[in-house]
A and B are shown apart, each in its own frame.
Chain A
């Protein structure tokens, strides 16, 4: 029974937390410009992230080490500085996009400028981190994040052609503008396989004191949580394809797209869009700020844990405080959150190989994983994920230049 509750809570957490600024932004643009043709990129990203989270959860449950902690111990501090630097850059950029997205949701709802909202919004996030515990943050945000299911309701309500949807799950040559298509595919994969999800998941597993008996719930949560989560992100693509594409709206800013849920859901649509954007972004911002503290603390061997009081771990609390302060800058100087998001996704895929590649060695190290090292399937998956990460990293700069 306890396991069932754990699994259900884990799946709800994954579903409620899946949609954030990156998946909403890339999904809107993909659906608006290419209808269902980019669904495959989301499916591919979901499979990759499911394998990666299962592995890092397994590592945490068996060894009580997070992935960053294990990498520092296995490869040494000098080596760890490379993935750390890459991940700090990515996390900061995505964090800035998330707080910008949340403030923009308030601008859409109230008409008061994003620059006015950004500081109080970030301060609110900081207060939640300062006074909250890991479980209250993770589960609270996930339950609130279930509002994003409105995209699924809207997509089903609008009755898409399911044959076309199924065709979108297989990569095809685009009907037009291949550079823009590749740019969005890279963005979608970047939004799905966010490095912070991997390190945050393993830190969460250690915070929640997972043990080897939790391996099966971990496997189920990784597969079904990410699977159902990606269904919500796919629904964003479907609604954009059904509402924005026929009208010729390319959704390069949230203002253009904010009305899309009003077509299937009437006067609730606009409110639900703003709520989904705000809650999705606040949830992801909380996770990203915490993740920055986790990776810095674990890389330098500091004490860490969201459940401890800030006075007991001043450096941990200081890290998320500094990160949140820096994250307000792009929105304060007027950078559009959606454009920053799309840029962040390109930087994410550039950094991905540096962060993911060491996993293949770590996950085969019996010193950490004892009898639970990777089998043939997991090793094939991780090698494929690394190969995909390298390919999209090479493509990231040209497609950003040509397709943006």
Chain B
């Protein structure tokens, strides 16, 4: 009797863990969209910092901090995208190139101690956001 109850409990726990584990499965489209949105967010943050720096509301050291961190983040997202095999090759190359462009825009500005080009940043950001929306809606076909 005891062992039957024990077996039932074990089965119940196993079923619960399986359901829980299945529930934990990450949707690749959402994961891809998040990568793109993360890069887009950093692009927006750099533009915001430019806006504040122009009005003299933040020190130069902070602008440098944002630009250098943003360059690292763009490079990290680019690496993640290139390593994501579930993303179709053309899509992956396109997104990675956008991140590379952002990284080079902010790294160049940081080196030259100037502000990154807002228009160029905004243009790439919009492209990334559009792709993220397509990814979330399932319009980008990813390998599951």
A binds B: yes
Which of the 9-residue segments B62-70, B85-93, B108-116 touches chain A?
Answer: B62-70
Please give, as numbers and ranges, the residues of chain A lying within 8 Å of B47 by CB-CB distance. 247
> Are B58 and A262 in contact (CB-based, < 8 A)?
yes
> Are B23 and A259 in contact (CB-based, < 8 A)?
no
Please give, as numbers and ranges, the residues of chain B lying within 8 Å of A248 by CB-CB distance. 40-41, 44, 125, 129
B113 → chain A closest CB, angstroms: 12
> Are A111 and B62 in contact (CB-based, < 8 A)?
yes
> Are B38 and A398 in contact (CB-based, < 8 A)?
no
Please give, as numbers and ranges, the residues of chain B lying within 8 Å of A262 by CB-CB distance. 52, 55, 57-58
Q: Is A85 an interface residue (CB 8 A)?
A: no
Please give, as numbers and ranges, the residues of chain A lying within 8 Å of B20 by CB-CB distance. 398
Q: Closest residue to B125 on the A side, CB-wise? A: A248
> Are B48 and A402 in contact (CB-based, < 8 A)?
no
Which of these, B56, B59, B65, contacts A255 with CB under 8 Å?
Answer: B65
> Are B62 and A270 in contact (CB-based, < 8 A)?
yes
Please give, as numbers and ranges, the residues of chain B lying within 8 Å of A247 by CB-CB distance. 44, 47-48
> Are A267 and B56 in contact (CB-based, < 8 A)?
yes
Tally chain A residues at the interface, Cβ within 8 Å: 30
A342 CA / B58 CA spacing, docked (Å): 26
Q: Is B5 an interface residue (CB 8 A)?
A: no
Q: Is B74 an interface residue (CB 8 A)?
A: no
- How would residues 253 to 264 of chain A score, 1 for a CB under 8 Å from any chain B CB and 0 otherwise? 101111100100
| Cβ-Cβ contact count across A and B, 8 Å cutoff | 75
Which of these, B26, B37, B62, contacts A258 with CB under 8 Å?
Answer: B62
Q: Is A303 an interface residue (CB 8 A)?
A: no
A264 → chain B closest CB, angstroms: 11
Which of these, B24, B65, B136, contacts A108 with CB under 8 Å?
Answer: B65
Q: Is B42 an interface residue (CB 8 A)?
A: yes
A252 CA / B70 CA spacing, docked (Å): 12
> Are B41 and A270 in contact (CB-based, < 8 A)?
no
**A401-B26, A402-B26 known; A249-B61 Cβ under 8 A:** no
Q: Is A397 an interface residue (CB 8 A)?
A: yes
Q: Which of B20, B38, B57 has the most CB of A within 10 A?
A: B57
Q: Closest residue to A266 on the B side, CB-wise? A: B57
A266 CA / B52 CA spacing, docked (Å): 9
A111 CA / B34 CA spacing, docked (Å): 29
Q: Closest residue to B70 on the A side, CB-wise? A: A255
Q: Is B30 an interface residue (CB 8 A)?
A: yes
**A111-B65, A248-B125 known; A256-B41 Cβ under 8 A:** yes
18 additional A-B pairs beyond A111-B65, A249-B48, beta carbons within 8 Å, are A110-B61, A111-B59, A111-B60, A180-B34, A247-B47, A249-B41, A252-B38, A252-B41, A256-B41, A256-B45, A258-B62, A259-B49, A267-B56, A267-B57, A270-B52, A270-B58, A398-B20, A398-B24
Contact sample, A vs B, 24 pairs, CB 8 Å cutoff: A109-B61, A111-B64, A177-B30, A179-B30, A247-B44, A248-B40, A248-B41, A248-B44, A249-B45, A253-B73, A255-B65, A256-B66, A258-B62, A259-B52, A259-B58, A262-B57, A262-B58, A267-B57, A269-B57, A270-B52, A397-B24, A398-B20, A398-B23, A401-B24
Q: Which 3 A-B residue pairs are closest in the complex by CB-CB distance?
A: A111-B61, A262-B57, A256-B45
Q: Which of A's residues lie within 8 Å of B, judged by CB?
A: 107-111, 176-177, 179-180, 247-253, 255-259, 262, 266-267, 269-270, 397-398, 401-402
